């Protein structure tokens, strides 16, 4: 009986190793060479997007808020290469001397990219970055977000990159002031991308919302708890949209200017 049990355990171990090699070994060789390469800056949502790409469905569902010791911050699909660049929240360090909104965010972004060359930078805010507590704070918040986008654009100009600019992520239960910030910011993004040929709008808001501008429940990772983090269905749609927008920018065949 012990021998049978031992053989079963050994069989599971070998099966696990075989699956790991089959699924994850190729990811170790992802490379931007001869591909349109994109640095994708973000936080929790971006982290989950890359896990959607790299983890099988079952593991994806149970790893929503867990860090897995496996490679998942790089991904490639046909002629495109994506790399997740973790960034700080724009308000990080607010309690320290010489605080400047967005300074820590850009420091983490530039450090994450380093001296490497990418064809494009995907720049986005987290859904919590649009929060304000009063109507008096709306204008200042919108101006602060716009200023950071302009800094991102200047960064891509210096480094000869396209800017893939995301509008705001929706939430399930937006406050009236927060939602006004989103609408104003999204309108500005529409105008900005029309002015700049090297800016491509990525619509995170319109394709995930209902008629009231709320995140649809079917796109929430935990709708019963009103969690505004997107689920796998949302990331599938966002991925299709992202590829369509990049294809339009690159002429449908991708290019590797690097």
Residue 113: both structure tokens together: 């990219």
pLDDT in tens, 136-156: 999 999 999 999 999 999 999
Is the same domain home to 26 and 36?
no
Taking a C-beta distance cutoff of 8 angstroms, is the pair 124, 90 a contact? Answer: no
CA–CA separation, 201 and 215 (whole Å): 19
What's the pLDDT score for residue 157?
A: 95
Is the same domain home to 61 and 16?
no
Name the pTM for this structure.
0.86
Is the same domain home to 26 and 40?
no
211 is a domain residue: yes
What's the pLDDT score for residue 199?
A: 95
62 is a domain residue: yes
CA–CA separation, 229 and 175 (whole Å): 16
What's the pLDDT score for residue 206?
A: 94
pLDDT in tens, 190-216: 999 999 989 999 999 999 999 999 999
Provide the pLDDT confidence category of residue 1 given band limits of 50, 70 and 90. Answer: low
Mean per-residue pLDDT of the chain: 86
Taking a C-beta distance cutoff of 8 angstroms, is the pair 50, 73 a contact? Answer: yes
**86: Cα separation from own chain's centroid:** 9
Q: How many domains does the structure of the chain reveal?
A: 2
Is the same domain home to 12 and 44?
no
Q: Which domain holds residue 24?
A: 1-30
43 is a domain residue: yes
Provide the pLDDT confidence category of residue 7 given band limits of 50, 70 and 90. Answer: low
Whether the predicted pLDDT of 169 surpasses 80: yes
258 is a domain residue: no
Is the same domain home to 132 and 166?
yes
């Amino acid at each position: 009986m012990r021998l049978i049990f031992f053989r079963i355990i050994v069989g599971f171990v070998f099966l696990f190793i075989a699956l790991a090699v089959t699924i994850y070994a190729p990811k170790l060789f992802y490379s931007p060479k001869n591909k349109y390469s994109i640095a994708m800056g973000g936080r929790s949502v971006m982290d989950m997007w890359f896990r959607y790409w790299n983890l099988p469905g079952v593991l994806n569902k149970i790893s929503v808020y867990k860090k897995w010791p496996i490679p998942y911050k790089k991904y490639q699909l046909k002629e495109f290469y994506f790399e997740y660049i973790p960034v700080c929240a724009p308000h990080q360090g607010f309690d320290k001397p010489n605080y400047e909104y967005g300074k820590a965010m850009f420091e983490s972004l530039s450090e994450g990219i380093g001296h490497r060359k990418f064809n494009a930078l995907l720049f986005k805010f987290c859904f919590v970055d649009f929060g304000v507590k009063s109507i008096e704070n709306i204008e200042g918040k919108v101006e602060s977000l716009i200023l950071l986008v302009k800094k991102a654009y200047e960064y891509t100009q210096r480094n000869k990159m396209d800017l893939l600019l995301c509008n705001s992520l929706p939430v399930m239960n937006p406050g009236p002031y927060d939602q006004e910030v989103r609408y104003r910011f999204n309108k500005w993004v529409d105008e900005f991308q029309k002015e700049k040929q090297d800016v491509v709008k990525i619509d995170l808001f319109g394709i995930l919302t209902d008629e009231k501008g709320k995140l649809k429940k079917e796109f929430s990772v935990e709708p019963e708890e009103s969690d505004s983090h997107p689920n796998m269905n949302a990331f599938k749609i966002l991925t299709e949209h992202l590829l369509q927008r990049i294809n339009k920018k690159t002429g449908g065949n991708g290019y590797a200017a690097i």
